[in-house]
A and B are shown apart, each in its own frame.
Chain A
Amino acid sequence: MADKILKKLNIKVWRQKNAASKGKFETYTIENISTGSSFLEMMDILNNELIEKGIDPIAFDHDCREGICGTCSLYINGRPHGPDTEVTTCQLHMRKFKDGETITVEPWRAAAFPVIKDLVVDRTAFEKILQAGGFISVNTGGVPDANAIPVAYEDAEEAMDAAACIGCGACVAACKNSSAMLFVSAKVSHLAKLPQGKVEAKKRALNMVAKMDELGFGGCTNTGACEVECPKSISITNIARLNREYLGARLSK
């Protein structure tokens, strides 16, 4: 399929100088964008044009640009990572948009993710949650023999599925309550499902949830929006597991 050219697009984007300033939307026009280019390439082209005009380029997060690092964000046309499923913003292509369209680009919105500049938000809150328990501290020795510790196939699969989380924060951005439950449940699950992680499972669930609450994320009301918008399709059954782990840990304490 040959790439088409989008003759004209209006990019309505959130501009904010720094964390303290108020911020507002600006609309820029951009012409002749190939449908084969990625959304971030379009943003790069737009930024070049802005620089030539002497306007401060739009700040946005990006790193690997291949959907594995979790750095890119952007709330595009009302959806985190834009109008496509199972992709990050860096993997989103311009063929998903129509010629002449106005594309609204906003940062993740959550009390726990304050805007630093334009579309860049501070996601340190996720690091803090991980520091509260997203690790194992038992000594597992050197590299063990394969199959020395048997792990059931289903457990391994579920752990690997949960471990696919790249920590992008789209779940928080998608949630009407800005809840971080999908992220936390993925991080709790991928360890809780494996023998090495079981040792500290209870403490981990309690501490990570306590940290999540402390940082100002909202509570889960099971709308399921997070799973749909998650680029890695992390299942909300992980949230059920986190609820189970947490309630169990509370009861046995």
Chain B
Amino acid sequence: MSKFLAASIGRKFLMSITGLFLVAFIAVHLIINLMLIFDDSGELFNLAAHFMATNPVIKIMEPLLGLGFLIHILWSFYLEYQNWRARPVKYNKKDASTSSTWASRNMLVLGALVLVFLIIHIINFFWVIKFEPHTLDTVIIGGEEMEDTYTLVSNLFKGSVAYCIFYILGGLLLGFHLSHGFWSAFQTLGINNNHWMKRWHVLGYIYAVIVAVGFSVIPLYFLIKF
């Protein structure tokens, strides 16, 4: 195992597996979040949030997800450092844009910005829900008492234009990261050939646009409506 991870392709394998795990998580996360804008009473989102908080499968996945994030992030810094070392003397004049996309060359920058977003995002919501639930109001939906997560989220967006913009930027950054990351993960796993090259690229762009638009439309909705 350690020999596998010492090899360049093994190292990249771990990056792509954790990346795809995060891709799956982000899809679920987006579906749940979109309930914020389809029911202004907040019931739909509260029910979904409550389900996620209590479902045993999700409970098992939660630490795994944390681990996935941690490995993906720490590993990415380590790999980029190694790649940086492979060229001790840099070029004086570079014309990189003719041969590759900006996103593909700046995955660490994009990832690091996503990380900044992630930390503030966790402080905003996850931390409060997980460790300070007593500070939340409760609502009764269908006879069951649960935390009013909808109010926590909607108040943040209703009360601050700055936060709305910050969350819109977060969605866009993640979209850019995925515009390269999605197809790249399949290439790394070797699941690619002449036929699939185009397909993975198209699917990747579609997924990236859904993520970018999907996540930014939520704060935008609160910004415009309230």
Contact = CB atoms under 8 A, between A and B. Distances in A.
B83 A223 contact: no
Interface string A216-253: 11111111110011000001110111111111101000
Contacts of B95: 77-79, 83
B210 to A, nearest CB: 21
B86 to A, nearest CB: 3
Contacts of B192: 237, 240
B10 A250 contact: yes
Contact of A109 (B9, B84, B89): B89
A74 B114 CA distance: 37
Contact of B105 (A104, A223, A229, A235): A223
Contacts of B107: 221
B93 A221 contact: no
A209 B13 CA distance: 14
A240 B8 contact: no
Interface bracket on B: 35 or more
Given A111-B87, A240-B191, A247-B13, A225 B82 contact: no
Contacts of A51: none
B190 A223 contact: no
Tell me which of B8, B95, B104, B190 has the highest count of chain A C-beta atoms within 10 A of its own C-beta. Answer: B8
Interface string B68-96: 00000000000100111111111111111
Contacts of A246: 7, 9, 190
A237 B194 CA distance: 6
Contacts of A79: 95, 98-99
A222 B94 contact: no
Contacts of A222: 104, 180, 183-184, 187-188
Contacts of A181: 8
Contact of B101 (A177, A223, A242): A223
B191 A109 contact: no
A109 B91 contact: yes
A240 B187 contact: yes
A179 interface: yes
A225 B96 contact: yes
Tell me which of B6, B7, B84, B87 has the highest count of chain A C-beta atoms within 10 A of its own C-beta. Answer: B87
B2 interface: no
Contacts of A217: 8, 86
A247 B93 contact: no
A91 interface: no
B83 A209 contact: no
Contact of B7 (A83, A213, A218, A237): A213
Contacts of B12: 219-221, 243
27 contacts: A78-B93, A78-B94, A177-B83, A177-B86, A209-B8, A209-B9, A213-B6, A213-B8, A218-B85, A218-B86, A218-B87, A219-B12, A219-B82, A222-B187, A224-B100, A225-B100, A237-B194, A240-B187, A240-B191, A240-B193, A242-B190, A243-B187, A243-B188, A243-B189, A243-B190, A246-B9, A246-B190
Interface of B: 4, 6-13, 79, 82-96, 98-101, 104-105, 107, 180, 183-184, 187-194, 197
Given A78-B91, A218-B87, A219-B82, 6 more contacts: A212-B8, A222-B183, A241-B190, A241-B193, A243-B187, A247-B9
Question: Which 10 A-B residue pairings sit nearest by Cβ, starting from the closest?
Answer: A244-B190, A78-B95, A218-B86, A177-B83, A240-B192, A228-B99, A243-B190, A218-B83, A225-B99, A223-B100
